[in-house]
Amino acid sequence: MYISYHKLWKLLVDRELTKTDLCDLTGISSRTMAKISKDQSVNTDTLLAICAALHCDVSDIMEVCDENTTQSIYETYRRTARKTDEDERFETFEFTYHGRRVILKKTRERANKHTVIHCNPNSLSWEQIYPLGRSPVREVRDLIDAHFWTPDAICVIVISGKPMCFEKLDEYQFISVHREPTEKRYIYTMSEAAFKVWDI
C-alpha cells in the first residue's frame, strides 16, 4: 500500500495553480512539498492546510493505493524510472509501463511565461522571448528531432516548468516524419503539469 497525491496534481492543473502557488496559499515549506511530490507521508496538519486552501476534502487530494492496482504513467515514472543519460539539455529516464518500454526526456531548463514550445513535424524547438523595450528579443533553439523516436518504446518529451504555450501541434500530439499517427511514429510532448495527469 502507498499514498498517491495524483488527485492533488490534477486539481492544481484544473485550477491553473502551481506547486509554488500552493506553498504560498498554505504556508507549507518547499521541503514538505518535495515529500508530497514523492508520494511520501506528511502530517495531517499539512493535509488540512491544503484542503482549507483549495476548499476541498482530503479524498480530493490523495488516495491510498494498492501496489497491485494499475498506476498512472506518472506514478510509474515516479516509482520505477531510472536515469539512463544526462546532457546539457535533458535528463533521460527509462521505465516500463503496461509492458511497454518508455523513454522519457525531461528538459533541464525550466520553461516560463516567456517560453514557446514549437512542435514541428520533424523537430521540437524552444523559443525564449525576452521582453526588452518595444521589440522583444527572441532566441530559438532546437531541442530534439524526430530521430529520437524508436519503434519499441513510447517516447515522451516533458518540458519542465510552465511554458506560455505549445505551438503548431497540441500537447499529447506527435512529432512525426510522416505526419500520420497511424504510422505510430510519434513523440508525445507535454508540460510537466500535463504529464502528471496524462492518461495513455
Most confident segment among 11-15, 46-50, 64-68, 189-193: 46-50
Report the alpha-carbon distance of residue 154 to residue 65 in Å, rounded: 25
| pLDDT one-digit tens code per residue, 131-173 | 776 667 788 888 887 777 788 888 899 999 989 888 876 544 4
Whether residue 103 contacts residue 121, with contact meaning beta carbons closer than 8 Å, is answered with no
Report the alpha-carbon distance of residue 131 to residue 56 in Å, rounded: 38
What is residue 63's predicted lDDT score, i.e. its pLDDT? Answer: 86
**Reported pTM:** 0.65
Report the alpha-carbon distance of residue 103 to residue 152 in Å, rounded: 10
Residues 77 and 60 in one domain: no
User: Is the pLDDT score of 128 beyond 50?
Assistant: yes
Residues 35 and 93 in one domain: no
Domain of residue 132, residue span: 73-196
Residues 56 and 80 in one domain: no
18 vs 123, which has greater pLDDT? 18
- Calculate mean pLDDT across residues 62-90: 84
Residues 105 and 59 in one domain: no
Residues 37 and 131 in one domain: no
Residues 38 and 87 in one domain: no
- What are the Cα distances from residue 178, in Å, to 182, 183, 185, 197? 9, 7, 8, 28
